[in-house]
A and B are shown apart, each in its own frame.
Chain A
Amino acid sequence: MKFGVVVFPGSNCDVDVYHVIKNVLKKPVEYIWHRDQEIDGFNCIILPGGFSYGDYLRSGAIARFSPVMKSVEKFASQGGLVLGICNGFQILLEAGLLPGALRGNDSQQFICDDTFIKVENESCPFTIDCAQDEVLKIPIAHKDGNYFAEASLLRELEAKGQVVFRYCDHEGRVSREANPNGSVGNVAGVCNESGNILGMMPHPERCAEELLGGEDGKKIFKSVLKWWEKRGGRRGS
């Protein structure tokens, strides 16, 4: 099982994701420069957080045109696992690989804080190490994390189990008070229909060690490993 972490100009959580995979999970991982198109040999591609291209124009809007994104698209269409975190989620949306859009936080402010999220779909490759409705404490750090989908689309996503995480309080109540950024339906993360592409605003790599105040984020990475093991190392979902 080998992870690849894409580095766009302006990515800044690439190093953090790399650290967790290499030093905490002790699994093989390599950086992929955004100009590279050769991504064979990787089993899970992660688009990390940061400010790709300075988030100029719109978060993720320029990075989607990086050469690597064509390969990522192909990789995903063959069932390869793709995880977009924060800016990576924004890029996946801009690339049309995930449904919906992210707008500016309703407070108009950048928010860095711990949040609680509830696992609504515990059967996708990124959550199978979680229990149904499990509450995870994972921090956010973004200015454009206000998820939006038309009511009909949101219903469809819910029906198909594509809403993977929702913001909640520490007891799992999905409430307005627990919604940090104004996302519709408190959505914190969504996957594609076949479940092999996940985008999430919270940063699991920031809470994968007890020293940093929690290990809930580790579950996302461990899920990927578990899923991979279960499938005996085959792509597709």
Chain B
Amino acid sequence: MEAKVWREMGLTDREYELIKEILKREPNYVEVGMFAVMWSEHCSYKSSRAVLKKLPTQGPHVLQGPGENAGIVDIGEGLAVAFKVESHNHPSAIEPFQGAATGVGGIVRDIFTMGARPIANLNSLRFGDLEKPRSRYLFNGVVNGIGWYGNCMGIPTVAGEVYFDNSYAGNPIVNAMCVGLVKHGDIARGVAAGKGNAVMVVGARTGRDGIHGCTFASEELSEESEDRRPSVQVGDPFMEKLLLEACQELTAKNLIVGMQDMGAAGLTGCVCEMASRGGTGMNIDISLVPRREKGMTPYEVMLSESQERMLIVPRAGSEEEVKAIFSKWGLEAVVIGEVTEDGLLNIFDGEEKVACIPAAALTKGCPAYSPEEREPAYLKEVREIDSGKYSFGNWNKALLKVLSSPTIASKKWVYRQYDYMVQTDTVIVPGGDAALLRVKGTSKALAVTIDGNGRYCYLDPFCGGAIAVAEAARNIVCTGARPLAVTDCLNFGNPEKPEIFWQFRNVIEGMSKACRVLETPVVSGNVSFYNETAGEPVFPTPTVGMVGLLENIEKRCKAGFSGEGDAVVLLGESKDELGGSEYLKIMTGLVSGKPPVIDLELEKAVQECCLKLIDQGLVSSAHDCSEGGLAVALAEGCIIGGRGVKIEMISDLNPAALLFGESQSRILLTVPWEHISKAETVSLDLGVPFNILGRVKGRSLTFIVNGTKFIDLEVGSMEREWLEAIPCLMS
């Protein structure tokens, strides 16, 4: 075989030699294709594996950690939550609607493959500045695609985040997360077991779309990427809705040994992963796979990433019952082979054997790399700033400007296009900190959120990684729920560049430390490298999806200020930290300075304190103080709650840092006066700074510092700027 063949598929010469050693012969074309997709960075984690081991994955609630289609966490009463996040950045960059839609479709299948019913979708998105037509095109297409797929499936899209920065102009970030609910007894896994058991392909027919999708995900975007449009899969949410209902019937009737979504690497990925997990092999005849196109070669069938398909291994003797269920939903279910004991994947096309590979060679045979690392040179330049220099004086204007920057502004334009109410469980709707979903038939509720800040990670990867976890947890805590576990999506540039890998390792170490301190293990996730355009990487952008549990839904807490006259209290401390802030970027265009430091022990204490205060019924609202700083948190509390506040503070911080600095570990509360001393005692016992800033009052945000009125704005006028910013740019 010519070297060109494997190189074009993304294999190195050394990897090709290794394949020859494993097979003890030259691989054929189909086999090279199968190795190439499974050994791609996207599927094999060959560069990231060693570093990912640093993340904690164990915990008392964890029923299923990384390595399956999704992680699963116990929530008591025989119930569990399955969740995972995944990237679809590259497909979305060239075909935003289908790219984002199939991102949702893929992650939803990962959840119901585990036997869970999907109850919520979330997403984390990054685009270039909205002034640019291309950013608007991508933003609009992605939001449309996400809505189209999730709405049709009847899964509410309840939370998310959107950032705009030119670092993402060429390579947007589209991370989709899904959360499902499952009874312990119904948990399914992607395992092929039981010699002689049938192997069935169910759902949609196989076409030529998405071939080498995961190889495409493992290279940088360039001028030629547009030609990759055929590598983008095409979604059919109606088909997937039928598939979901049929699969739910399968698990309810206990008809399966294992099942797996055909996602990245299609049929190849499914057969080798299921066999490898079960320590088994499979004989497969691909001439039996239902096609939607004529003349497909074995190579194309094995590598197609056509959507809405699953591979299942039914319990012996239940094949006909499985077929009947699928037929009721108008779907095909076809036996294409059987489970064997020899650990080999024997792929036939009718009589002819077209491939023979040990399953484990595809899933575990890929060499792990330890890429070179180097601290990026830019860090020294960007770190030093003097925040005093950036006080512009007219604070009313500054606040309105920050509120109307697309990153800070209301995302109602986005979530209004998502059905966030279907299934009638959304008790706290999008627009606050985390969303809260009731669990019908219990008194429990689940809080869900997704968070990350690429700017912080660019300026200090370790710190940014830790903050991503801390902030997600803080969002959860503000609803009254206790954080349970994490799913992470790690979006980085090309890991072959030492600077990128240095960023990657440091972010993981920061996340790892925060996960340990906050006791939130990572149960699932996804790495997305090669997020670069024309050699320019995106900011290192980990996004952290988190699920929390509130045992008693009656104790839930909302973000909007309520209770006229209540005290406005800040837990935690504001410091002279303007570095990496949204304010600095808006006012100067600079992404510079040191991002806020994070003391994880204090963070833990602040969160414990907030949970305790909510649990004891001492607060009337709780809101995370993060991007945009104290002034923005106050404005949001006012707008969401429809009330004003009067703040009177004594402070020697420079005003810009006081108003807009993004110091960590801060939560804004409103506390009825009759509870104030009790609340203060709780806080001080936990060593958490407790400062009364003012009270809920009237219809304006008034902010007085050292006797000088810095801000005096009507809630209505702030709300207009905040609500209208994105619709204005998009119309």
CB neighbours of B422 from chain A (8 A): 12-13, 16, 49, 141, 206
Q: Does B427 contact A212, Cβ atoms closer than 8 Å?
A: yes
Besides A10-B152, A10-B241, A54-B237, 6 new A-B residue pairs in contact (Cβ under 8 A), listed by A number: A12-B241, A13-B154, A16-B423, A54-B238, A54-B241, A206-B421
- A167–B237 alpha-carbon span in the complex (Å): 30
Q: Which residues of chain A from 45 to 76 have any CB-CB distance to chain B below 8 Å in the complex? A: 49-51, 53-56
Stretch at the interface among B30-38, B411-419, B494-502, B636-644: B411-419
Task: Return B325 CB to nearest CB of chain A, in Å.
Answer: 13
Contact A205 B151 (CB under 8 A): no
Write the chain A residue with the least CB distance to B240.
A54
A1-39 interface code vs B (CB 8 A; 1 in, 0 out):
000000001101101100110010000000000000000
Query: Which of B415, B418, B421, B423 has a CB less than 8 Å from the CB of A15?
Result: B423
**Contact sample, A vs B, 13 pairs, CB 8 Å cutoff:** A10-B241, A13-B154, A53-B238, A110-B148, A112-B151, A112-B416, A112-B417, A112-B418, A141-B419, A141-B421, A143-B151, A203-B421, A209-B424
In the assembled complex, A211 has its CB within 8 A of some CB on chain B: yes
Q: Is B348 among interface residues, defined by CB-CB distance under 8 A?
A: no
Which residue among B148, B241, B422 has the maximum number of chain A CB atoms within 10 Å of its CB? B422
Indicate with 1 or 0, residue by residue over A99-141, a CB within 8 angstroms of chain B CB atoms. 0000000000111110000000000000000000000000101
Compute how far the CA of A212 lies from the CA of B225 in the bound complex, rounded to whole angstroms.
Answer: 45
Which of A13, A51, A209 lies in contact with B152, CB distance below 8 A?
A51
Quick check: B416 and A16 within 8 Å, CB to CB? no
Given contacts A54-B237, A110-B147, contact A205 B424 (CB under 8 A): yes
Q: CB within 8 A of B237: which of A9, A51, A212?
A: A51
| Best-surrounded residue of B152, B239, B420, B553 (most CB of chain A within 10 A) | B152
Contact A212 B426 (CB under 8 A): yes
B4 within 8 A of partner (CB): no
A180-207 contacts to B, CB under 8 A, are 203, 205-206
Please, which residues of chain A bring their CB within 8 A of the CB of B704?
Answer: none
| B315 close to chain A: CB less than 8 A | no
A23 to B424, CA, bound (A): 13
Give the most central of A13, A53, A110: most B CB within 10 Å: A110
Cβ-based interface call for B14 (8 A): no
Q: Which of B151, B330, B553 has the most C-beta atoms of chain A within 10 angstroms of its own C-beta?
A: B151
B423 / chain A contacts, CB cutoff of 8 Å = 15-16
Tell me if A's interface is mostly helix, strand, loop or mixed. Answer: mixed
Residues in A neighbouring B239, C-beta threshold 8 A: 54
Most chain B beta-carbon contacts within 10 A, residue among A12, A53, A143: A12
How many B residues have CB within 8 A of the partner chain? 30
Closest to B140 in A: A109
Answer yes or no: B349 CB below 8 A from chain A CBs: no
B438 in contact (CB, < 8 A): yes
Q: Which residues from B are CB-within-8-Å of A50?
A: 154
Asked whether B236 lies within 8 Å of A12 as measured between CB atoms, the reply is no
Neighbour of B242 across the interface among A9, A56, A209, A211, CB < 8 A: A9
Closest to B418 in A: A112
Tell me the nearest residue of chain B to A113, going by C-beta. B416
Q: What residues of A have a CB within 8 angstroms of the CB of B148 in the complex?
A: 110
Is B440 part of the binding interface, using a Cβ–Cβ cutoff of 8 Å? yes
For B238, give its contact among A15, A51, A112 (CB under 8 Å): A51
Contact of A211 among B147, B237, B419, B553 (CB under 8 A): B553
Query: Nearest 9 pairs between A and B by C-beta?
Result: A12-B154, A54-B238, A51-B152, A141-B419, A16-B424, A112-B419, A110-B417, A206-B421, A110-B147
Residue of A nearest to B556 (CB): A211
Q: Which residues of B contact A213 (CB under 8 A)?
A: 429
Task: Return chain A residues, CB-CB under 8 Å to B440.
Answer: 19, 23
Interface string of A133-167 (1 = CB under 8 A from B): 00000010101000000000000000000000000
CA–CA, A107 and B117, complex, Å: 32
Please tell me if B395 contacts chain A, counting CB pairs below 8 Å: no
B residues bordering A, Cβ < 8 Å? 147-148, 151-154, 236-239, 241-242, 329-330, 415-424, 426-427, 429, 438, 440, 553
B residues in contact with A113, CB < 8 Å? 416
Structural contact, B238 and A110, CB atoms closer than 8 A: no
Chain B residues with CB under 8 A of A54 = 152, 236-239, 241
The verdict on A112 contacting B426 (CB below 8 Å), with A12-B241, A55-B152, A211-B553 known, is no
CB pair A10–B238 under 8 Å, yes or no, is: yes
Q: Which residues of B contact A51 (CB under 8 A)?
A: 151-152, 154, 237-238, 241
Q: Give CA–CA (A141, B424) in the complex, Å.
A: 12
Q: Please report the C-alpha to C-alpha distance between residue A109 and residue B329 in the assembled complex, in whole angstroms.
A: 29
Complex CA gap A25/B426 in Å reads: 20
* A40 smallest CB distance to B (angstroms): 23
Q: Which residues of chain B have C-beta atoms less than 8 A from A111's C-beta?
A: 416-417
Question: Is there an interface contact between B153 and A12, defined as CB atoms closer than 8 Å?
Answer: yes
The docked-state distance in angstroms from the alpha carbon of A126 to that of B731 is: 39
Which of A9, A10, A55, A206 lies in contact with B424, CB distance below 8 A? A206
CB of A136 to closest CB in B, whole Å: 16
Bitwise interface map of A from 212 to 224 toward B, beta carbon under 8 Å scored 1, else 0: 1100000000000
Nearest-CB distance from B101 to chain A (Å)? 13
- A47 CB, nearest partner CB in chain B, Å: 15
Q: Which residue from chain B places its CB closest to the CB of A14 in the assembled complex?
A: B154
A56 CA / B237 CA spacing, docked (Å): 11
Bound-complex Cα distance A99 to B423 (A): 29
Chain B residues near A9 (CB-CB < 8 A): 238, 241-242, 329-330
Contacts of A110 in B (CB 8 A): 147-148, 151, 417-419
Q: Roughly how many angstroms separate A206 CA and B242 CA in the complex, as a whole number?
A: 23
A205–B239 CA distance with the chains assembled, in angstroms:
25
> Which chain A positions have C-beta within 8 A of B154?
12-13, 50-51
Point out the residues of chain B lying under 8 angstroms from A55, CB to CB.
152, 238
B415: which A residues are within 8 A, CB to CB? 112
Partner of B151, one of A20, A23, A53, A141: A141
Contacts of A143 in B (CB 8 A): 151
Q: Residues of A contacting B419 with CB < 8 Å?
A: 110, 112, 141
Distance of A15 Cα from B147 Cα, bound (Å): 20
CA distance A9 to B237 in the complex (A): 12
Q: What CA separation (Å) do A211 and B552 show in the bound complex?
A: 13
Cβ distance B518 to chain A, nearest Cβ, rounded Å: 29
CB distance from A17 to the nearest CB of B (A): 9
For A180, give the chain B residue with the smallest CB separation: B416
For the complex formed, measure the closest distance between the CB of A215 and the CB atoms of chain B, giving whole angstroms: 13
Residue of chain B at shortest CB distance from A205 = B424
Taken together as a complex, chains A and B put the C-alpha atoms of A15 and B154 apart, in Å, by 10
The CA-CA distance from A111 to B144 in the complex, in Å, is 11
Chain B residues, CB < 8 A from A19? 424, 440
Within 8 Å CB of B427, what residues of A?
A: 211-212
Residues in A neighbouring B237, C-beta threshold 8 A: 51, 54
- Give chain B nearest CB distance to A202 CB in angstroms: 11
